[in-house]
Amino acid sequence: MAGGPSTPELAIAVCQAGGLGFLAAGYKRADAVAREIQTVRAATGAAFGVNLFVPGAEPATPRSLAGYLAEIASEAARQGASVGEARFDDDDWQAKLQLMCTERPAVVSFTFGCPPAEVSEWLHGAGVAVWVTVTNVAEARAAQAAGADALVVQGSEAGGHRGGFIDDGSDEGGIGLLALLRLTARAIPLPLIATGGIMDGAALAAVLCAGASAGQLGSALMLSPEAATAEAQRAVMADPGPTRVTRAFSGRPARGIVNRFLVEHSAAAPLAYPEIHHATSPLRAAARKRGDADAFNLWAGQAHELAHAWPAAEIVREIAAEADAVLERVSAGRRGPGTSAGSRSPSS
């Protein structure tokens, strides 16, 4: 939940409720991440994790950018903002890796790619567990080969950026969480952390049955007071609006609630991350400030309407307790007398 909702306060609250809180390092300089780590450590001695973006290999070609930058100039003007510089960067990669080896959080998770094997070795040497976000079995195999200790398995339901390695434009929203968990569990003998659409205890119980060791929450925490979710987004999160995967805001596929900007610009948006992210950044910030929910990225998963505006610790505790109750009830129901053999069969 980089780029907004993630805060040290949210990570602290999750840790205090018995979860593994995460800090989002993406889009931030290493020194800002260092300050967030200090804030967490001042509040809790619990284990926590940090999520890093793996930088892309090369900048987009100026030719693929020019048309889209022209297209969004009117959007910038509408918000009283300018189009940002469409620059390539590596998200302060080396400095953040160095910070991780110094600060040694319990876990560093990676998104947008697979860290090289020497990075895993380096982190392992510092006593840090390496988790890699994957969206298909090929990525899972590559992550295993690169030394991952666990895989964050991101289903198509997930809000925000698709966390896979390669954006060749063919992802098409991706593989549903349940199918992806089974495919990955059958192929790769690593602990799996499920993410995408987990909004309540029944969903957590489901992913535990499907082979996950844990569930990772995103949208489920976005209405909590500890999250820095924009007010204009909070207002639409609880409504049953459809979501779509788009490159319009960042140049990289991400799932958000459908709004005017997404509808008008998805078709033209190039594969160009982080260039488009930087280009739209000022206009998105202005729209967020003005409360114009039709003009910034409303990242949210497919079940976002099930989010609660509860304190984060309460959300975590409620989901864990409900998962236990669901597992107890469903397994008792299968054991009990008078239940049918169960699996039902085909049509259409």
The residue (of 114 and 185) whose beta carbon lies closer to its own copies is 185
Query: What are the tokens at 183?
Result: 């495919």
The residue (of 22 and 68) whose beta carbon lies closer to its own copies is 22
The residue (of 20 and 73) whose beta carbon lies closer to its own copies is 20
Neighbouring-strand partners of residue 192: 151
236 part of the interface to its own copies, by CB under 8 A? no
Binding part of the chain for its own copies, among 94-102, 152-160, 230-238, 279-287 by CB under 8 A, reads: 152-160
Residues 6+ apart with CB under 8 A from 286: 79, 80, 81
Binding part of the chain for its own copies, among 92-100, 133-141, 231-239, 280-288 by CB under 8 A, reads: 133-141
Residues 245-304 that bind its own copies (CB under 8 A): 245, 301-303
197 part of the interface to its own copies, by CB under 8 A? yes
DSSP 103-119: H--SEEEEESS---HHH
Q: How far is CA 14 from the centre of its chain?
A: 16
- Taking the alpha carbons at both ends of the chain, their separation in whole angstroms is 38
186 part of the interface to its own copies, by CB under 8 A? yes
Which secondary-structure segment (H or E) carries 38?
A: helix 30-43
Query: What are the tokens at 6?
Result: 């993630």
Of the candidates 176, 241, 282, 311, which one interacts with its own copies according to CB under 8 A? 176
Query: What are the tokens at 84?
Result: 């940002």
C-alpha 330/C-alpha 242 separation (Å) is 30
CA diameter of the chain: 68
Closest CB 25 distance from its own copies, rounded Å: 9
Residues 45-64 that bind its own copies (CB under 8 A): 49, 51, 53
The residue (of 79 and 136) whose beta carbon lies closer to its own copies is 136
Number of residues that bind its own copies (CB under 8 A): 97
